[in-house]
Amino acid sequence: MSPLDWMVLIGTLTVIICYGVWKSRGQRNMESYFLDNQSMPWYIILLSIIGTQASAITFISAPGQAYTDGMRFVQYYFGLPLAMVVLCITFVPIFHKLKVYTAYEFLEQRFDLKTRTLASSLFLIQRGLSTGISICAPSIILSSLLGWNLYWTNMIMGGLLIIYTVAGGTRAVAYTQTFQLAIIFGGMFLAGWMVVHLLPADIGFKQALQVSGKMDKLNVIVTKFDWKDKYNIWSGVIGGFFLALSYFGTDQSQVGRYLTAKSIKESRMGLLMNGLVKVPMQFLILLIGALVFVFYLYFRAPIFFNEAQLARVHKTEQGPAMLKLEDQYNELGTLKQQQVKQLAAALETDNHTQIASAKKALQQTDDQSQVVRTQALSLIKASDPTADTNDTNYIFLHFVVNSLPKGLVGLLIAIIFLAAWGSIAAALNSLASTTVIDVYKRLYNEHASEDHYLKISKLWTLIWGVFCIVVAQFAGSLGSLIEVVNVLGSWFYGVILGIFMVAFYLKRVGGTATFWAAIIGEIVVLVIYWTGTVSFLWLNAIGCLLVVLLGWIFQYFVNTRRLSDSGLR
Amino acid sequence: MAADNLQEEKPPLFPSWTWWYVLVTAWLLLLVVFFYLFTKTFS
């Protein structure tokens, strides 16, 4: 990175920290620390919800996903809009009226203490581990691309935000997220514009889309049903609905955002607007990836985007074979450069035969490139069996670091930090609120002063921050981290959602039946995952339905036993 | 009972939640049609 990039990066991060600390003033008790005295307008709620969900990986991985697999990933969000309406009708008014700090407090009022403790514990395990991985995922990529030390990158990625998150609680988190998102969207728009700008002079936005489309990268809708296919319209609408319902309704990192609204109406507006803007937003982020694909047709792509990993292979006995494959790949890249120009020229003529012929030639060369690339991936695995051969997350940042002008590189790197900070800060805040409200205050110290609870809340925010950084330092060896985070979530989300569904819709089912249904449901979800029967997105729906069904059955036996006991008496 | 009453509260912008269901479903359908045409146009 150039000195200008460093100035932009350090300047942006410093401004955000100062802004967060400035917004931290006036925290006097737990209500102001965790709920900001319920004073937020809907647009801050909306931006805070988006900022919490959109982590660094969203902005790194989504363009890479479009580059490799096309834009069909957007279907993952199709269930979200409907889930927002259900949430607004069912979850939000109850949370507001009961004046809870966390979603799990409601479970004790509806069921019993053990069900509340079980749900909050599942959340703490899942969110604590996945936040650590969320710190590590962008750190690994940045350290690999820029040659930074991973240990220190993790420290900065997960450490600096602790300053304002500990000091200012929810208020600092929400207002910094708003500021961060403004910078993030501005930077991403600039990046998208630059991709097209860097293409040859005769290739505009429309031509770039045409080329991308001809190479099947604009395949947004997939209607074919397949249990094991992660991204089609059916898994998106049904699996995505349950995932969104669970994430926004029962994950304290999101519930904690909309509980800060000044009224039920403001909470609902924030969530409903999120339902309307999320899909188009994700579509635009993916579109950048589809355009980056076109960029790398005109300007040769490396055989493997994680070049640090490639350099390590060069030093092993597989090095000469890898260099040979790289030569083959580069030759095919040169051929693709010529063929993409022919395709663009054919598209200008509107001659269908010529277009079909040029498209076929380019696709054949691209297929040959993929064969060579697959051989290269085998070599990487042979040289290091623990190496991650998925370079999807490196594609966009490789483009940023190697192709964007000075200054913009620093801004885009800053965006990765800001996106990470937004979601990590919300996670730390929610981990602290759940620990203090559902565990410390409820189980150990119910009658302390407000000042004591405020100090304990700040202390737990700090403890969770340190814990997540420690997890991040060990997470580097887990392979594809984006997948680990998603899988980790799907292990628990469905079951937690099932508990809440029973609470809302099965009024006759009690705490004991729900508690055991959740325990058995969790075991079954884990068994299904290990057997690899279905794609992970379906685990959310399966976990939820299992808890509802088992809860209903168990309650029947509880009732029968009660009747027989009373009969005996 | 209390929960039932809460659910009957007026939603933002519209007189009933049915409108929000219609709006969100229509929006999703519109996006699906747009994405489908987008895919077809450029493929």
Q: What angle do CA A33, A130, A44 make, to 5 degrees?
A: 40
- DSSP helix/strand/coil, A390: coil
Q: What angle do CA A30, A35, A41 make, to 5 degrees?
A: 155
Those residues with Cβ within 8 angstroms of residue A231's Cβ, 6 or more apart along the chain or in another chain: A69, A72, A73, A75, A76, A222
Tokens representing A87 are 């949430």
Closest partner CB to B24 (pick from A82, A214, A219) = A82
Provide the pLDDT for residue A531: 86
Partners of B20 on chain A (C-beta within 8 Å) are 85, 88, 272
Quick check: A504 and B24 CB within 8 A?
Answer: no
Q: How far is B25 from chain A (nearest CA, A)?
A: 7
Q: List b or e across A262-281, with b for residues whose CB sees 16 or more CB atoms inside 10 angstroms.
A: bebbbbbbbbbbbbbebbeb
Q: Which residue has the tokens 């990066």?
A: A9
Q: Is B17 on the interface with A (CB under 8 A)?
A: yes
Q: What angle do CA A246, A47, A192 make, to 5 degrees?
A: 105
Quick check: B43 and A218 CB within 8 A?
Answer: yes
Closest partner CB to A221 (pick from B27, B35, B42) = B35
Partners of B27 on chain A (C-beta within 8 Å) are 81, 276
Partners of A84 on chain B (C-beta within 8 Å) are 24
Q: How far is B39 from chain A (nearest CA, A)?
A: 5
Nearest chain A residue to B32 by CA distance is A221
Provide the pLDDT for residue A57: 80
Alpha-carbon gap, residue A311 to A319, rounded angstroms: 9
Judge residue A509's burial from the number of C-beta atoms within 10 Å of its C-beta, 0-12 exposed, 13-18 middle, 19 or more buried: buried
Provide the pLDDT for residue B5: 54
Pair A254, A502: CB distance under 8 Å? no
- Rounded to 5 degrees, what are φ and ψ at A509? -85, 130
Tokens representing A331 are 């030759």
Partners of B21 on chain A (C-beta within 8 Å) are 82, 85
Alpha-carbon gap, residue A114 to A513, rounded angstroms: 11
Helix (H) or strand (E) holding A129: helix A113-146
Q: How far is A218 from chain B (nearest CA, A)?
A: 6
Closest partner CB to A88 (pick from B3, B11, B36) = B11
Closest partner CB to A93 (pick from B6, B20, B24) = B6
Neighbours of A145 (CB within 10 A): 19
Partners of B31 on chain A (C-beta within 8 Å) are 279-280, 283
Q: Which residue numbers in chain A have pLDDT < 70?
A: 228-229, 476-483, 565-569
Q: Is B19 on the interface with A (CB under 8 A)?
A: no
Long-range contacts of A281-284 (CB under 8 A, 24+ apart): A281/A50, A282/A62, A282/A73, A282/A74, A282/A76, A282/A77, A283/A71, A283/A74, A283/A220, A283/B31, A283/B35, A284/A188, A284/A192
Closest partner CB to B11 (pick from A221, A268, A280) = A268
Neighbours of B34 (CB within 10 A): 14
- DSSP helix/strand/coil, A242: helix
Partners of A504 on chain B (C-beta within 8 Å) are 3
- Rounded to 5 degrees, what are φ and ψ at A40? -80, 140
Quick check: B32 and A504 CB within 8 A?
Answer: no
Quick check: A213 and B21 CB within 8 A?
Answer: no
List, for residues A315-346, the tens digit of each pLDDT value: 998 889 999 999 999 999 999 999 989 888 88
AA letter at A234 = W
Provide the pLDDT for residue A474: 82
Q: Is B9 on the interface with A (CB under 8 A)?
A: yes
Q: How far is B15 from chain A (nearest CA, A)?
A: 13
Closest partner CB to B39 (pick from A219, A264, A276) = A219
Name the nearest CA neighbour of A518 among A510, A167, A431. Answer: A510
Closest partner CB to B42 (pick from A90, A210, A504) = A210
* 3-state helix vs strand vs coil in chain A, percent to 5: 80, 0, 20
Alpha-carbon gap, residue A186 to A561, rounded angstroms: 63
Provide the pLDDT for residue A476: 67
Quick check: B25 and A84 CB within 8 A?
Answer: no
Q: How far is B12 from chain A (nearest CA, A)?
A: 6
HSE (side-chain half, CA atoms, 13 Å) at A300? 15
Alpha-carbon gap, residue A70 to A217, rounded angstroms: 4
- DSSP helix/strand/coil, A41: coil
Q: DSSP letters along A1-23, please?
A: --HHHHHHHHHHHHHHHHHHHHT
Q: Which residue has the tokens 């939640």?
A: B17
Provide the pLDDT for residue B1: 44
Pair A540, A243: CB distance under 8 Å? yes
Q: How far is B30 from chain A (nearest CA, A)?
A: 11
From the candidates A75, A98, A109, A272, which should be mutated to test the interface with B, based on the most B CB atoms within 10 A?
A272
Closest partner CB to B42 (pick from A78, A90, A218) = A218
Quick check: A97 and B43 CB within 8 A?
Answer: no
Those residues with Cβ within 8 angstroms of residue A93's Cβ, 6 or more apart along the chain or in another chain: A264, B6, B7, B9
Tokens representing A33 are 């620390």
Q: What angle do CA A257, A262, A264 make, to 5 degrees?
A: 80
Alpha-carbon gap, residue A415 to A13, rounded angstroms: 9
Alpha-carbon gap, residue A48 to A258, rounded angstroms: 8
Q: How far is A211 from chain B (nearest CA, A)?
A: 8
Alpha-carbon gap, residue A120 to A400, rounded angstroms: 40
- DSSP helix/strand/coil, A384: coil
Closest partner CB to A85 (pick from B20, B42, B43) = B20
Q: What angle do CA A272, A288, A85 make, to 5 degrees?
A: 10
From the candidates B4, B7, B38, which should be mutated to test the interface with A, based on the most A CB atoms within 10 A?
B38
Name the nearest CA neighbour of A152 among A165, A135, A134. Answer: A135
- DSSP helix/strand/coil, A328: helix
Q: List b or e across A311-322, with b for residues whose CB sees 16 or more CB atoms inside 10 angstroms.
A: eebeeeebeebb
Name the nearest CA neighbour of A246 among A446, A509, A540. Answer: A540
C-alpha torsion A323→A329→A330→A334, nearest 10: 170
Helix (H) or strand (E) holding A556: helix A537-568
Partners of B2 on chain A (C-beta within 8 Å) are 97
